[in-house]
């Protein structure tokens, strides 16, 4: 199993570098579900001691990316429809709350920035640029959480987005129509925020989250 290149970041400890490298590998499916992550092999590949690798794997297991398989060690978890449905419930509640709270705080510059993100997402979808399409769509959600100013809430939403991002390629492979529908729902949410209608924006966000994630869960169930 080829591992991603170890990231270079002076702001990260060695454990954090290994953690983020492996996590990105899992999210991009370079490290596939059911792949085993062996401490000694990873340490040798990255030219580091076993300690930061062991600590990184503990963090990955804690976030749900790895699971113990008895004496064989840790392996990458297989996405399941049950897990996605659990994510849906939490994400819908959190993002609905965020959009209701943040709508009165948005100024013209914020609205222009959000519109730019959605315009870029639409272009990526039309160009069938899967990675950029997902990236700009996620940034729309993260921007709102950042504007609210609750760092813990933003981090929780980012973690939920990562679980969805891991299986989003499945929906791109399955059909483009749901992607376009989700993009149009983003525009409806933005329009409600422009109107200053926080309740409507919340309702649209909850509907959007539940609708999109259920599409993913169904595809995953049939996968």
Residue-wise pLDDT tens digits, 163-205? 777 777 666 666 677 788 989 999 999 999 999 999 999 999 9
CB of 220 closer than 8 Å to CB of 81: yes
pLDDT 10s digits, 30-75: 898 899 999 999 999 999 999 999 999 999 999 889 999 877 889 9
Cβ neighbours of residue 30 closer than 8 Å, sequence gap 6 or more: 2, 4
Note the pLDDT of residue 101: 97
Residue 107 has a CB neighbour count (10 Å cut-off) of: 9
- pTM of structure: 0.76
Section 198-220 average pLDDT: 88
Residue 80 pLDDT: 77
**Residues ≥6 apart with Cβ < 8 Å to 17:** 6, 7, 8, 9, 52
Mean pLDDT of 9-15: 91
Q: Is the pLDDT of residue 117 over 90?
A: yes
What pLDDT score does 175 carry?
65
pLDDT tens for 79-105 read 777 877 888 889 999 999 999 999 999
Residue 222 banded pLDDT, cuts 50, 70, 90: low
Domain architecture of the chain: domains with CATH:
14-76 (1.10.10.10), 81-222 (1.20.120.530)
Give the pLDDT of residue 172.
66
Q: What pLDDT is recorded for position 170?
A: 65
Say how many C-beta atoms besides its own lie within 10 A of residue 221's C-beta. Answer: 12
User: Which token pair is 11?
Assistant: 């702001």
Q: Which residues of 202-213 are buried (b: 16+ CB within 10 A; e: fewer)?
A: bbbbbebbbebb
Q: Are 15 and 57 in contact (CB under 8 A)?
A: no
Highest mean pLDDT pick, 108-122, 125-139, 154-168, 170-184: 108-122
């Amino acid at each position: 199993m080829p591992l991603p290149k170890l990231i270079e970041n002076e702001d990260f400890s060695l454990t954090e570098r290994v953690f983020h490298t492996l996590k990105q590998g899992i999210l991009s499916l370079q490290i596939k579900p059911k792949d085993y992550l062996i401490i000694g092999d990873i340490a040798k590949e990255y030219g580091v001691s076993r300690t930061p690798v062991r600590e990184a794997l503990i963090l990955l297991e804690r976030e749900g990316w790895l699971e113990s398989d008895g004496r064989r060690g840790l392996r990458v978890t297989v996405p399941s429809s049950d897990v996605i449905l659990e994510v849906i419930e939490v994400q819908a509640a959190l993002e609905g709350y965020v959009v209701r709270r943040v709508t009165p705080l948005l100024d013209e510059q914020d609205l222009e920035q959000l519109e730019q993100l959605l315009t870029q997402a639409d272009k990526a979808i039309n160009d069938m640029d899967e990675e950029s399409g997902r990236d700009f769509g996620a940034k729309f959600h993260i921007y709102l959480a950042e504007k609210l100013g609750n760092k813990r809430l933003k981090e929780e939403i980012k973690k939920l987005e990562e679980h969805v991002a891991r299986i989003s390629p499945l929906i791109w492979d399955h059909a483009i129509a749901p992607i376009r529908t989700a993009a149009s729902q983003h525009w409806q949410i933005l329009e409600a925020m422009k109107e200053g209608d926080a309740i409507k924006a919340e309702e649209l966000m909850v509907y959007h989250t539940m609708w999109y994630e259920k599409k993913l869960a169904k595809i995953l169930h049939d996968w």
